[in-house]
Each structure stands twice: as C-alpha cells, then as structure tokens.
Structure 1
Amino acid sequence: MSRTRLNLFIEHEHAKRLDELSTMKGLSKSSIVAAALASFLSPDSGDQREAAIAKRLDRLSRQLDKLERDQNILIETLALYVRYFLTVSTPVPETHQEAARAQGRARFEQFIEQLGRHLLRGRSLVKDVVEEIQPDQSQFFGLQENANAVSSTDGPGAPS
C-alpha cells in the first residue's frame, strides 16, 4: 500500500500527548494518526458515536428515573411516619417540657452517632432487612431435599 507524506502543524499539547501515547502503546506516531484519521473520516463513525452517546444517555435516564422513584418512596415513607408519629404521640405537659427537650437532645445525638456508624459500614439498612427476610438458595434446596425424604418414606407400603 502506498502512502502519502504530509507535513502537518499540530498544537504542542497534541504533539506531547501523541509522543506519550506512542511510547506507552509501542506504536509509531504515523500509525496512531492514521487510525485516528480513519476513524474520523469513516462514514459510520458519526453514527457509531451517536449510538454510543444515545445508549449512555438512555442508561443515565434509567438511573435518574430509579433515583427519582427511590426519592419519592423515601419522601412518602417519611411523610407517613411523621403523620403517624404526630397522630399517636400525646402532648407533653408544660411541667415536663424541659425534661422532654433534654431527652430529645440525647436521643437525637444517639441517633446521629448510630447513623454515622451505619454509614461508615457502607451498607444499606433496607438491603440488610431485605436480605434478612428473603430466603437464599440453600434454604430452597434444603426444603426440597426434606420434602423428597419425607415423600420417599411415606410410600404406599409405609407403616402409619
């Protein structure tokens, strides 16, 4: 394949990055520039870039929708809890107001400390609860094996 020689002027920063890339990849500068030029001049490169961007935007949109849904669930949960709490809690008599405030401050400090410890663990309370209430595969297999063992011993000739 014959090649045409070109003398090009590029910015100093681009030349520096081209040098670094050719050294790092072990390729010639000409081959890197040729690949970049082929990609730029390719008729589908624009379509491929557009498709890749559209795919990323779709993924980001789905993630944003999930975050919005989760946020709405969180807001509704908090609103329901506050309404329930305000409905069932009795007003504190005036004589006990100061003690109630002190107790509230102490409980709030405990809550903040517990929240900090929980966040440092990096786990989600919701995930912990879901994992506690959902059986894992071993529990399913154990039930199946037990059911098979019981049904094999309870055959038609088995004594009652």
Structure 2
Amino acid sequence: MPARKAQLTIYLEPATLGALEAFARKSGSPKSLVAEAAVASFLTGDDADRRDAATIKRLDRIIRLLDRLERNDTIALETHALFIRFWLTATPALPEQGTPAARAKGQERYERFIEALGRRVASGTRVGDEIALDLGLSDAADDLRPHD
C-alpha cells in the first residue's frame, strides 16, 4: 500500500490560483496533482534544465556561425594568397625609366579601387555571391553570408 500523502495548506495570489485551476481543467487533472507536480518540478530543477538546454542551443548556433566565418576567412585568405602568387609570377619588372609613370598610374588605379570598394560595401554587393552565381551555385551564395 503506497504511503499516505501529507496535507499542506497554502495561500495563493488570485491570479496564480486562476492559472492553477485553468491548467487543471484543461489537463483534466485534480488541482492538488497539478500543484504537487509544479512543486516537484520547482524543487528538482527542471527550470534549470530548460535554461541549460536553451543555452546549449544558442551556443550550438554560435559555434556554427563561427565555423562558417572561419571557413569564409580561409577562402578569402587563400584567394588573396593565390592572386598575389599569380600576380608576382606573371608581372614583369618595370624598366627604370618607366617607374615614375607606373607609380602615378598605380596611385590612380588604387584610388579608383578604393572608390569601387566603397560603392560595393555600401550597396551590399559581394564578389562571393557573384562567383557562386557565375558557377551556378546560387545556394552557395547564401552559405557565404553569416546567418543568425
């Protein structure tokens, strides 16, 4: 025979009592059973478990974002390194007499590059998106962008 339950008299705020009665009606359980379950849940730390689960879910999302950012950084660094290697191996040295003109032309190109970069950043256009579209990888363009 199960142990007899002890009786406890408690005082509840009207709103809390209303919520208890509504929940008991909805679940088809006696108020005392709902109250007992609520007290047991409070004492066993179920709420802490839920908070932990929510925190773990957020951390998992942050880890996925960091992994994606790390992958994108790796792609960007490899792209730059490959471009520099090709540029250094394919660009011949300038003759001495052409150096001042080449520097002036280089400065002009750099200024145009900075203006174009500013326009692209302001517009939100990304080279990675364009490359993915050129390769027919429209889904890959979405992967290049960090998500929440």
Gapped regions of structure 1 (runs ≥ 5): 6-27, 137-160
In 1, Cα distance between the equivalents of 2:97 and 2:48?
A: 75
Give 2:115's aligned residue.
Answer: 113
Normalised to the residue count of structure 2, the TM-score between the two structures is 0.63
The CA deviation string for residues 44-75 of structure 1, in whole angstroms up to 9 with x for no partner, is 11001011101111110111011111101111
Normalised to the residue count of structure 1, the TM-score between the two structures is 0.58
Give 1:99's aligned residue.
Answer: 101
> Which 4+ stretches in 1 moved above 6 angstroms?
none
Give 2:11's aligned residue.
Answer: 3
Give the alignment partner of residue 86 of structure 1, picking from 81, 85, 88. Answer: 88
- CA change 1:51–1:113 in 2 (3 A) is same
Of the two structures, which has the highest relative contact order with CA contacts closer than 8 Å and spacing of 6 or more? 2
The DSSP-based 3-state class of the residue aligned with 1:134 is coil
Q: Across the two proteins, how many residue pairs are aligned to each other?
A: 108
Give 1:47's aligned residue.
Answer: 49
Gapped regions of structure 2 (runs ≥ 5): 1-8, 20-37, 139-148
Identity %: 39
Matches for 1:11-160 after TM superposition, within 5 Å: 41=42, 43-134=45-136
